[in-house]
Structure 1
Amino acid sequence: MTSNSTEVTEFILLGLTDDPNIQVPLLLLLLFIYLLTLAGNGAMMTIIHSDSHLHALTYFFLSNLSFVDLGDSSAVAPKMVAALQSGNKVISYNGCAAQFFVGFARSSSTSWPAWSMTTMQLSVCALLAIGSYICGFLNASIHTADTFRFSFCGSNVITLFFCNIPPLLALSCSNTRISKLVVFFVIGFNVFSTLLVILISYLFIYIAIQRMSSAKGQKKDFSTCASHLTTVSIFHGTVIFLYLQPPSSQSMDMDKTASLFYTVVIPVLNSLIYSLRNQEVKNTLWKILNKLYPQSLSVSRRQAGNQRRNLPSGKMSS
């Protein structure tokens, strides 16, 4: 850094778009998704902790997943919405570091093996969850400290809508070559080792399901596995695209799309996939609503029953 350069004290998040014609629709869409994320993940945690029937291993991990997704989305989405509403894209140095930390902590805290949901005791699962949080905290602390020890003395414009490691290292006027290599190998090891463990766990799950005598039980377990595989594939696919591709092949628009999935879409998808496909969760939600609004729900049920009875015989609803 030269003597006449000025150290950066704040950053400018370039955002998703500068087109004024789509900023308002985009603002409304992002606000809707974030509110749905708050409602979905908040409801999942409330439902799981309020019903003793859902205090099983699977729901223990789903509750933790909802907590992590809620924190990650809250670190990014409100700033995006505020920037679209006010036009102020500035984020403080400390605010940028906080976003960076939460993103890395989340990526290290959500990849529990699928077999742990079915074969471990609750106490062991609790230790596994605590270990995941500790690893996520340490991983995020190391990468945050390493990245923000560099000098930022030139441009302060980040090409994405949140603080992430590739654009920050690109802005630094220090020598970041070693840090880029470390990030590449550390993230690569974490992603592919996690995928290997998940694939091995699903091999054992598949063998166990095939031994089941109940076709209904097999179908239920396969459905649960399909939901988990869907979220795992989306999550790891975006991580690989964001961090493990050569810089020369990166497209700004594609990076923004992948980043949007990683920070905004995946947290709401997790809650929707695991709640809408789970009959026990839906039944518990109905019980909670029935306690809060007994009269309204009773009227709705009677109206629905009357409508079915009034239908012609050839048009009875399923």
Structure 2
Amino acid sequence: MTENQTWVTELILLGFPLGPKTQMFLFGLFSLFYAFTLLGNGAILGLICLDPRLHTPMYFFLSHLAVVDMSYASNNVPKMLANLTFLYMAFAHTECLLLVAMSYDRYVAICHPLQYAVIMSRRVCTILAAASWACGSLLALVHLVLILRLPFCGPHEVNHFFCEILSVLKLACADTRLNQVVIFAASVFILVGPLCWVLVSYTRILLAILRIQSGEGRRKAFSTCSSHLCVVGLFFGSAIVMYMAPQSRHPEEQQKILSLFYSLFNPMLNPLIYSLRNAEVKGALHRVLWKKRSRWRDGGTP
């Protein structure tokens, strides 16, 4: 490399090459989605903290998922490449592992109900949550170290609406095969492995549900599991297609649409699919609102 070669120190996000009216429409739509993401996940997190009846392993993991989703959505438009590479990938990896921990919680609750309190103790839940955060951050740090070693001396326009790692690698003026191998290996570890674990867990859950004699018990179990499977399918499906399918089959514009599912839509849909339709969460919301109403009424009386 010559000494007088100019290195790129700033990147420009191209976003979607659309007309001004369409861009304004998408700006309003995505802003609305982001607001719903913060409100929905914030409401879930607040209810879990305020209502002692929701202090169970299932909602313990759900509170961590809410924190991840709010942070995930808030870091998709970073101002610095290093911030994105670390935080964005850290939150993505952590969400994968938290979804696995939640599937294990459902497996124990349905297949081993009498031992649930012993197996899913507070210590076990804390270890699983801490391991998810630690592994997610460690894997993101590996990506960060590998991408920061690369020189960027050519085009400085990222054909994406945020600094997605595959789009950034295309701008490097050096061999990126090591980065590609690490990304694929990390995808196998963080996507395929956990997805297989989830499928095994839910296969055993399904067999356990089919042995339930009560129709009401079956309906309740299916309702809980179907919600989690919807979240898992949306997140893992779009991420696997994005990072493990041959890139030639997915043009850049299609990749941007796929990334919307796991970076914007999923954080917004998680509280709707997995929590707000849950009877326990609705009951907690009713109790919190009724308590506040009673305090306001008592405070207003002489």
Shorter-chain TM-score tier: 0.7 to 0.9
Q: 1:25 to 1:295 in 2, by over 3 A?
A: farther
How far apart, CA to CA, are the structure 1 residues paired with 2:6 and 2:84? 23
How far apart, CA to CA, are the structure 2 residues paired with 1:27 and 1:138? 33
Residue 209 of structure 1 and its aligned partner are, at CA, apart by 2.4
Q: 1:255 to 1:296 in 2, by over 3 A?
A: farther
Kept in 2, the 8 Å contact 1:115–1:205? The answer is no
Q: Which runs of 5+ in 1 are unaligned?
A: 80-90, 298-318
SS of 2:11 mapped into structure 1? strand
SS of 2:161 mapped into structure 1? coil
Residue 293 of structure 1 and its aligned partner are, at CA, apart by 4.1
CA displacement, residues 279-315 of structure 1 (integer Å, 9 cap, x when unaligned): 1101211222233345999xxxxxxxxxxxxxxxxxx
1:216 and 2:216 equivalent?
yes
How far apart, CA to CA, are the structure 1 residues paired with 2:207 and 2:89? 34
Kept in 2, the 8 Å contact 1:72–1:263? The answer is yes
Q: 1:250 to 1:3 in 2, by over 3 A?
A: farther
How far apart, CA to CA, are the structure 2 residues paired with 1:296 and 1:267? 33
The farther-off stretch of 184-193 and 123-132 is 184-193
How far apart, CA to CA, are the structure 2 residues paired with 1:2 and 1:18? 38
Kept in 1, the 8 Å contact 2:139–2:186? The answer is no
Residue 221 of structure 1 and its aligned partner are, at CA, apart by 1.4
- TM-score, structure 2 normalization: 0.88
Counterpart among 102, 105, 114 of residue 116 in structure 1: 105
- The amino acid across from 1:238 in the alignment is S
Kept in 2, the 8 Å contact 1:44–1:271? The answer is yes
- The residue number in structure 2 matching 1:97 is 82
How far apart, CA to CA, are the structure 2 residues paired with 1:55 and 1:217? 22
1:73 and 2:73 equivalent?
yes
Kept in 2, the 8 Å contact 1:97–1:163? The answer is no
CA displacement, residues 149-196 of structure 1 (integer Å, 9 cap, x when unaligned): 111111111111111211111100111112212211221232111111
Residue 14 of structure 1 and its aligned partner are, at CA, apart by 0.9
Residue 272 of structure 1 and its aligned partner are, at CA, apart by 1.0
- The residue number in structure 2 matching 1:83 is none
Kept in 1, the 8 Å contact 2:13–2:157? The answer is yes
Kept in 1, the 8 Å contact 2:51–2:288? The answer is no
- The residue number in structure 2 matching 1:171 is 171
Kept in 2, the 8 Å contact 1:5–1:154? The answer is no
Kept in 1, the 8 Å contact 2:231–2:274? The answer is no
Residue 49 of structure 1 and its aligned partner are, at CA, apart by 1.3
1:199 and 2:188 equivalent?
no
Q: Which runs of 5+ in 2 are unaligned?
A: 110-115, 298-302
Matches within 5 A, 1:240-255: 240-255=240-255
How far apart, CA to CA, are the structure 1 residues paired with 2:142 and 2:189? 16
- The residue number in structure 2 matching 1:287 is 287
1:107 and 2:107 equivalent?
no
Q: How many corresponding residue pairs?
A: 282
SS of 1:115 mapped into structure 2? helix
How far apart, CA to CA, are the structure 1 residues paired with 2:196 and 2:161? 31
- The residue number in structure 1 matching 2:180 is 180
Task: Return the index of the structure with the highest Cα Rg.
Answer: 1
- The amino acid across from 1:105 in the alignment is A
How far apart, CA to CA, are the structure 1 residues paired with 2:183 and 2:104? 28
SS of 1:291 mapped into structure 2? helix
- The residue number in structure 1 matching 2:277 is 277
Residue 213 of structure 1 and its aligned partner are, at CA, apart by 3.7
How far apart, CA to CA, are the structure 2 residues paired with 1:7 and 1:293? 61
- TM-score, structure 1 normalization: 0.83
The farther-off stretch of 194-203 and 245-254 is 245-254
How far apart, CA to CA, are the structure 2 residues paired with 1:295 and 1:51? 16
- The residue number in structure 1 matching 2:113 is none
Q: 1:190 to 1:275 in 2, by over 3 A?
A: closer
Kept in 1, the 8 Å contact 2:47–2:281? The answer is yes
- The residue number in structure 1 matching 2:12 is 12
Q: 1:176 to 1:56 in 2, by over 3 A?
A: same
Matches within 5 A, 1:36-47: 36-47=36-47
Matches within 5 A, 1:229-268: 229-268=229-268
- The amino acid across from 1:292 in the alignment is K
The farther-off stretch of 175-184 and 218-227 is 175-184
Q: Identity of counterpart residues, as a percentage?
A: 39
How far apart, CA to CA, are the structure 2 residues paired with 1:133 and 1:37? 20
